[in-house]
Amino acid sequence: MLETIEEKAMVKFLGKFKDSPFIVKFNGREYTVGQGQPDFTVDVRRPIPVSQLMTSTSLALGEAYMDGNLEVEGDLYYALDRFLSQMDKFSTDRRSLVKLLNTSLSKKNQEKEVTSHYDIGNDFYKLWLDKTMSYSCAYFQKEEDTLYQAQVNKVDYILKKLYLKEGMTILDIGCGWGFLLLEAAKKYKVKGLGITLSKEQHREFEKRIKEEGLEDYLQVELMDYRDLPKSGKSFDRVVSVGMLEHVGRENYHLFADCASQVLKDGGLFLLHFISGLKEYSGDPWIKKYIFPGGMIPSLREMVSCLADDSFHVLDVEDLRLHYNKTLLCWEKNFKENREEISKMFDHRFMRMWELYLASCAAAFHNGIVDIHQILASKGVNNQLPLVRWY
């Protein structure tokens, strides 16, 4: 009787997602949700309490998938794309999840959160990123561009927006494995500093600097952005790609202020970040398993923060569909290297990471999240060309 009640309750809950037809399998029985030919099947191998689905639909379904208690028969990305197109039907009890959704913004805790993701191991990331080791949205100038070419395009595009000239200095806040600064030094003969909290990224970037013979041009330091003002350094250009998501809503103004304090008057600041249409505390499953403490700013609040520090916004660009394609490339690479990755991590981690890549691709496709590049000058800059060539 108990299983029958759970079964009915689950089928009723999943029945809300009827815009795209699918089949629910449960205890050998099948139920069709929606009208028309079903596109995929959700095989529920162990009941998920409706109380958990109501507390957080994404957390309950995500954990069930990770544990093998829920299987998707058909293309995972396709199924998630259909589910996330109905995101307004997901339930989230933010009061009961307040500790998960709002973690400490202390330096110590944020370093722990950042390293929990980026210090998984360079060998792991090398298996499914391209050889630039770029872990952010690529830029596909042509439909047939490879992931590698699109990442090269992205960095070249950013560097052009910054109007670099030989002899300038540039700071990269959250530099990752360093490809942007490596390209800047080689192509424009500028001197750069990259900062990161990841020991793995720091180690790899230092290695790449030496391999490229760029010790006279580039440095990388383990540093929190909040320590920049007391470093005594100043730069002609500041860039931050895919790092703002780790700052936290209460610190957006502080982040902009720290960038302003080390940027010379008239200097350019390029901010590349995942954004939301409105202010949002984040997805519980992503925050628990993928990006602890991650927070997605809205475009409007970042423009406001920049204005408070006398930044003049020169350009805003949306790259949402580029990130959808980037994530699908990563998902493909992950699948192709699954056997090698499975030697590093257990089955649950593998399913978690596959769900992460596919669900994020679906989230960008549905506009649940977006990505923007903002180019701004510190104060008024009248020296830039009237006709932009990027």
User: Which residues are tagged catalytic?
Assistant: 360
Phi-psi region of 123 (alpha: psi -120 to 50; beta: other; left: phi over 0): alpha
- Across the strands, what pairs with 317? 373
- Across the strands, what pairs with 263? 235
Cβ 168 vs Cβ 196: under 8 Å: no
191-196/169-173 β-pairing:
parallel
Q: Which two tokens stand for residue 299?
A: 């475009």
Cβ 91 vs Cβ 51: under 8 Å: no
344 CB-near residues (< 8 Å, 6+ apart): 121, 123, 124
Cβ 237 vs Cβ 268: under 8 Å: yes
144 CB-near residues (< 8 Å, 6+ apart): none
How far is 315 from 244, CA to CA, in rounded Å?
Answer: 18
Q: Which amino acid is at 287?
A: K
Q: Which amino acid is at 363?
A: A
95-102 LR contacts (CB < 8 Å, sep 24+): 96/55, 97/55, 97/56, 97/59, 97/284, 100/284, 100/287, 100/288, 101/281, 101/282, 101/284, 101/287, 102/281
